[in-house]
Structure 1
Amino acid sequence: MPKHILVTGPSRSGKSEWAERLAHRCNKPIIYVATALENLDDSEWQQRIEKHRRRRPSHWQTLSVPYDLCLTIEQANPPHCLLIDSLGTWVANGLEQDEESWEAIATRLLTSIQQASVDLIFVAEETGWGVVPAYPLGRLFRDRLGYLTRQLGVMVDTTYLVTGGHALNLTLLGNPVDKF
């Protein structure tokens, strides 16, 4: 049975590094699925992407998948492990989708994960811990990412919260809200 893991937490908490450590420990060929869109006009964004690249082992395969994450998961074959970094960036890339289209994409993603024949490690940002965004697109992003993170959290084998430089295994410490 493939293992599915969710690593979530706030910005700069160490969640990507924790996910990379988990991927390394799985002792399988790693496919790093980068969801970021490169923007050569944004040097700060490019520096962030480059920092992630430098941290990855050279033998890991990297795929740039800003949009069709479902297809990437569906086409993956054992014995690979997909490290998907990050769910928030992927959600942001599709914010122009209307609600009906988005719901179909989210449902397909969740189905793809349930049917995946490979290990999956997701990195997802926690965005709802602060103030409610003052603009509609910010609220839409927060709500869509929050929905997917909640669905994944109760669906995967293990969910970690990384905050303050520590990884907490929520699967061991918590109770799924949907199962009360």
Structure 2
Amino acid sequence: MTKPSKKRVILVAGPARSGKSEWAESLALASGKSVIYVATATKNLDDSEWMERITQHAQRRPASWQTWEVPVDLAATIESAKSSVCLLVDSLGTWVANLLEYDRTQWQEILKELLEIIENCDCDVIFVAEETGWGVVPAYPAGRLFRDRLGSLVREVGAIANPTYLVTAGHVLNLSQLGSPLNNKE
């Protein structure tokens, strides 16, 4: 009798247009499981450039993959997934942007719930996340809030995930093999 495989949590982080979504898609395909693409973006028919980006992502995915649009309720989506699936969450940055209106206390509760569910979920989950903190500190409060929340979230997910990848300039680095994790307490 074969032992059931343990769920995997994978983080794929990197800058814009680096290839991180494509790498995450290849990992999902290699999982051998039914893939559910969890799109955190919301469609905006008035923004043709945004819709073109969404279309490009959709055209790369196999027709057999399901797509769920989940702009906010990410924790509940992960919690409800069966062990036979691989969720590909693209992206954490868009999800954070969708929640910027929440105050610090609400955000901390949402974050705590999400991290607990990631730790205890039954399915494979691949997260795509933008690395936005490599530049200057934004000059406006909403930009700083977004950057700080996303940076902290990526670090927290990175502490759970194995492996964690950095994709930049079209190259993939396995940070779990090349690096050493920091103590996750800031």
TM-score normalised by structure 1 residue count: 0.98
Contact 2:74–2:114 (CA under 8 A) maintained in structure 1: yes
- State the partner residue of 1:19: 24
**Which blocks of at least 5 consecutive residues in structure 1 are unaligned?**
none
Contact 2:13–2:167 (CA under 8 A) maintained in structure 1: yes
Q: Does 1:129 align with 2:141?
A: no
> Offset at 1:179?
6.8
Q: Does 1:35 align with 2:35?
A: no
- State the partner residue of 2:52: 47
Contact 2:14–2:129 (CA under 8 A) maintained in structure 1: yes
- State the partner residue of 1:66: 71
Q: Does 1:97 align with 2:102?
A: yes
Q: 2:168 aligns with which of 163, 170, 176?
A: 163
- State the partner residue of 2:88: 83
Other structure's SS at 2:107 match = helix
> Offset at 1:36?
0.1
Percentage identity across paired residues of the two chains: 61
**Which blocks of at least 5 consecutive residues in structure 2 are unaligned?**
1-5
Quote the Cα distance in structure 1 between the aligned partners of 2:50 and 2:138. Answer: 22
Quote the Cα distance in structure 1 between the aligned partners of 2:42 and 2:113. Answer: 22
Q: 1:120 aligns with which of 122, 125, 128?
A: 125
Q: Does 1:6 align with 2:11?
A: yes
Quote the Cα distance in structure 1 between the aligned partners of 2:51 and 2:102. Answer: 25
Instruction: Deviation per CA, 1:72-128: give whole Å up to 9, x if none.
Output: 001001210000000000000010000000000001110010010000000000000
Amino acid in structure 1 at the alignment position of 2:94: T
Q: Does 1:173 align with 2:182?
A: no
Quote the Cα distance in structure 2 between the aligned partners of 1:99 and 1:76. Answer: 28
Quote the Cα distance in structure 2 between the aligned partners of 1:81 and 1:156. Answer: 14
Quote the Cα distance in structure 1 between the aligned partners of 2:83 and 2:160. Answer: 20
Give the aligned length: 180
Other structure's SS at 1:178 match = coil
- State the partner residue of 2:3: none
Instruction: Could you list the structure 1 runs, at least 4 aligned residues long, displaced by more than 2 angstroms after superposition.
Output: none
Q: What do you get for the CA RMSD once the two structures are aligned?
A: 1.0
Other structure's SS at 2:138 match = coil
